[in-house]
Structure 1
Amino acid sequence: MLKTPWIRTLQARSMHLLKDKAFIDGQWLPAQSNKVFSVTNPATGEVIGTAPDMDQSDTQSAIEAAATAFKTWQDTTAKDRSHFLRKWYDLMVQNHENLAKIVTLEAGKPLVESRGEVTYGNSFIEFFSEEARRIHGEIIPSPTPTKKILVEKHPIGVAGLIAPWNFPHAMITRKAGAALASGCTCVIKPAEDTPFTALALMELAQQAGIPKGVLNVVTSSRENAPQIGNLLCESPLVAGISFTGSTQVGKLLYRQCSSGIKRIGLELGGNAPFIVFDSAKVGNAVKGAMASKFRNCGQTCVSSNRFLVQRQVYDSFVDQLVKEIQGLKMGNGQEAGVQVGPLINHTQFDKVSDLVKDAVSKGAKVLTGGKPATQFGELFYEPTVLTDIKENMRVYTEEVFGPIVNIFRFETEEEGLRIANSTERGLAGYFYSEDVAQIFRVARKLEVGMCGVNEGIISTAEAPFGGIKESGLGREGSHHGIDDFTYIKYICVGNL
């Protein structure tokens, strides 16, 4: 399955984590068709292994297994569910380095970032292992003395979890942790680019003793993904869907879920503004911009996309930012010191290239970068800074999902907010200011679900993650993350 020296070393140390079978009803299984698809390392182009290319029939088996397991899992105590999650978390911690190496291998991100993702992803299982015992009901004062009004929270049932490639560990644990804590069972569909991380997590879940059928993973190629998603959305055995990915696909899943009035949580695309006001500490803003923009080569949903800089600090911010960007080290994420890895696949690479070409053809100025970095590999693109951005350029309205910084100059607070809010997306936004009154004004008026004030990294298990407008529905993480996987039951006890 695995060939290169680096991979062989990983294999020798963690053979139990590297799986080439899917996980259904507690068993490691091939596709019923015996078809497989190849997974490549985006940094080198090498095939690192194959995974089962499953279809609707395999998915149906997983759904049925999850539905059967739900009959007993929903009746486990909160303490028992907490115990299982804590054991899963402890095993993830013990296998931290090997999990990080698998992430780097298939997602391409620098190893230091993969380590950070594993720590972040593990934190959701730890958090929800604790939150499982805090899913409280209510006793509401009755308007009549002969009745008692009780409110309980119940698990919705089988949850279909559709995860993206950019955080193959954390996006699964963020969803599955909340689902399991609530008493739901899961059918997980990882991205076709990154199935091995999901399968490694299942190996550890099995070691933790989580009962069979509670967690299931269905892997597939890009070609079979639509039919699997459709079945998860339309199956009467599936009670809810949690999806992280593009707004376009999210809208499709939303329509498919409507036939069954199904519970759905959507964490979709962003177009995050990063505003630097005249009162900002420019050095802090530059550090925040680097942290927000270049994680995973800009391939995160909360990456800053549009940099809006007020007139008085524009030159200083741009000069400092360009110098920082020019100092970034690109390369294979397995190598020490690398800060920027490849784009995930050719589709993403072509999109980034086309966005830059479109902007330049319409008058954008390139301050640094602006072309492929083929000396590192086919999917590498130079960290790029573009100025003189106009409304007719695709980068003005589209989410880049790559290492491109688009810089706008603005004059007044009102103008900056107008540009920031002139999008159908509303996931994350960032701004830098030392004016206390301005901080509260802008934080209130910025049309996003998450706002970083003088901070470029905002994600944590304790905080609600999600957007408004076309960036999604519901929240993940925090105690609010339980809401997508529970329903409220009102019980009236009468004749007291």
Structure 2
Amino acid sequence: MQKILTGFNIQAVNSGVSTGTTWLPAAGEPIVSSSPVDGKDIATVTSATRADYDAVVQKAAEAFGAWRQWPAPRRGEVVRQIGEALRTHKEALGRLVSYEMGKSLQEGYGEVQEMIDICDFAVGLSRQLHGLTMHSERPGHRMYEQWHPLGIAGIISAFNFPVAVWSWNSMLAWVCGDVCIWKPSEKTPLTALACQHIAATVFAANGVPEGVCCLVTGGREVGEWLAADTRIPLVSATGSTRMGKAVGAAVGARLGRALLELGGNNAIIISKDADLDMSLIGCVFGAVGTAGQRCTSTRRLIIHESVYETFKTKLVNAYKQLRIGDPLDEQHHVGPLIDRQAVDMYLQAIEKCKAEGGKFVVEGGVLEGKGYESGCYVKPAIAEVENGFSIVQHETFAPILYLIKYSHIEEAIALQNGVPQGLSSAIMTLNLREAEQFLSQAGSDCGIANVNIGTSGAEIGGAFGGEKETGGGRESGSDAWKAYMRRQTNTINYTDKLPLAQGIKFDL
């Protein structure tokens, strides 16, 4: 791991504040990055003070004036080169993600691949930032709309996807002509430093102005500075609903834009007409992938009563085969939770579930002994519950799967929708009518609704995000780029007369 860190030049700079190739002599509190894999401290990063933060914002504002003048395809070429650099560093960065965050090595590689994919998407987008043309009611007039860069985009990312979510935002923002200030999770600062080095190297080689790619490492206070700063028109925040409400309120109070991607309480409906063997794969990966620490993790299974016992038995048997341990060992399915605070929340959720009447068919617990010295490894658990239990209504960022029984499809959809969150959802069925009903206006109320695949593993081509307490934001594909730009409507009069709209007469 030391070799990986040295390859990213992390040991040479312990500052967590950068305006691109320049690392400021940060004067804030030290942040120690500890791996949940083995409990060892990896490195220390110095966080930003308010003065450090203000210096970064000033540099970003200066850079925006120049960067927005670059033609979008030229900006796209820079992003293309970032994608190539990520291909070169995929293995090393993927291992760093796995070790610092705790997700499996395959998922670490997959996260870097997601960054590469969004670079490819953004390159194509750089030649497609299109507006509309419209017919005017006035003779000799032409109407159209165009999109302009918005300014500084503040990006607040979470520990569970320490690099991919940053790339979803930054690559799109950059081709749109914005500059970015990234506040990574204080639990995973080293992956952020590695990405900053990769991007800054490419920017320097292309003569990109200093300040287009900024990093400000720190705790909650940095996020609060971003949210309240009138110099930052857009704040994109990924994390808990509690955090998102605070960010949304602060940004809204100054009439800025908030792009929120918050908690999920995702369910898969298992129909009586489902392919149960195929469904099993999606359900188990959705529930235990990243140790249940994805916003799209499967939290609830809503199973038809006629196949309930059969599918429950399949689940229990599958959980017996799970291998839990060092995520850098590709033989393991499940790695650790991010820290011992997360373990405490996992244990509290289990106790609360039992207190409300939940029956565990696969018991949870903390693993001890050789290989589990960090204290962050837990057993994926399964409980039979009622959807109305308060703990079921809550998102627990841990591998706890809740089983719920239903009798007809309308009931299943109501149960699926019957939580405060609305991120991802799925139905497993070979019944075309059920599938279409699930996707209809009266079906799933989530931002993502899948048929015969699980709740996690979204591709970058589609807009990612959800409704209700998930925040309503959209990142990544489709037309999510519009969040990073301002729309302008233009009317051109090419006559020697000045008629008014709506037939209004105003003669002098």
Give the TM-score, by structure 2 length: 0.92
1:380 corresponds to? 377
| Partner residue in 1 for 2:421 | 425
- 1:407 aligns to 2:406 (yes or no): no
Deviation at 1:15, TM superposition (A): 4.1
CA deviation profile, 1:387-420 (whole Å, cap 9, x unmatched): 1x13564432111221111101111112212211
1:51-72 residue CA offsets vs partner (Å, 9 max, x unmatched): 1121322211111111110001
State the alpha-carbon separation in 2 of the partners of residues 463 and 171 from structure 1: 14
1:120 deviation in Å? 1.3
**1:61 counterpart (52, 55, 58):** 55
Q: Which amino acid aligns with 1:116?
A: G
Q: Tell me how many residue pairs correspond in the alignment.
A: 485
Quote the residue 2:36 is aligned against: 42
Deviation at 1:16, TM superposition (A): 6.4
In 2, the alpha carbon distance for the partners of 1:148 and 1:185 equals 32
1:192-227 deviations in whole A, cap 9, x for unaligned?
A: 01111111111111221243100101111x3xx2x2
For residues 124-163 of structure 1, what are the structure 2 equivalents within 5 Å? 124-163=118-157
Q: Deviations over 1:80-123 (max 9, x none)?
A: 11100000110000110000011012101111110111111221
Distance in 2 between the 1:67 and 1:370 partners?
50
Aligned to 1:215, which of 213, 231, 238?
Answer: 213
Aligned-partner Cα distance in 2 for 1:13–1:162: 26
Cross-structure match for 1:493: 492
Structure 2 distance, partners of 1:213, 1:451, is: 39
- Consecutive unaligned residues in structure 1, runs of 5 or more: 1-6
The alignment status of 1:106 with 2:100, answered yes or no, reads: yes
Summarize the Cα distance change of 1:100–1:21 in structure 2 as closer, same or farther, 3 Å threshold.
Answer: same
Task: Provide the C-alpha distance between the structure 1 equivalents of 2:293 and 2:367, rounded to a whole number of angstroms.
Answer: 17
Q: Counterparts of 1:57 and 1:260 in 2: how far apart (Å)?
A: 22
Aligned to 2:499: none
Distance 2:198 2:113 in 1: 15
The answer as to whether partners of 1:11 and 1:18 remain within 8 angstroms in 2 is no
Q: 1:29 aligns with which of 8, 23, 38?
A: 23
- Distance apart, 1:428 and its partner CA: 0.5
* Separation in structure 2 between the aligned mates of residue 397 and residue 348 of structure 1, nearest angstrom: 18
Corresponding residue for residue 435 of structure 1? 431
Percent of paired sites with the same residue: 25
Instruction: Write the distance in 2 (CA, Å) between the matches of 1:31 and 1:479.
Output: 40
Residue 288 of structure 2 aligns with an amino acid whose one-letter code is F
Q: Distance in 1 between matches of 2:212 and 2:419?
A: 40
Residues 162-184 of structure 1: CA deviation (Å, up to 9, x unaligned): 00100111111011011111110
C-alpha deviation, 1:31, in angstroms:
5.2
Give the equivalent residue in structure 2 for 1:3: none
Alignment of 1:89-488 (within 5 A): 89-209=83-203, 210-220=208-218, 222=219, 225=220, 227-375=221-369, 376-377=372-373, 378-387=375-384, 389-390=385-386, 393-444=389-440, 445-456=443-454, 457-488=456-487
* More moved, 232-241 vs 159-168: 232-241
Q: Secondary structure of 2:464's partner?
A: coil
Give the Cα–Cα distance (whole angstroms) in 2 for the partners of residues 433 and 34 of structure 1. 54
Deviation at residue 230 of structure 1 after TM alignment: 2.0
Q: Give the deviation of 1:26 after TM superposition.
A: 2.5
Q: CA deviation at 1:349?
A: 1.1
Structure 2 unpaired stretches of 5+ = 496-508
Aligned pairs (5 A) from 1:1-16: 7-11=1-5, 13-15=7-9
- Contact residue 18 and residue 196 of structure 1 kept, 8 A: no
Residue aligned with 2:255, SS? coil
Displacement of 1:19: 5.1
TM-score, L = length of structure 1 = 0.94
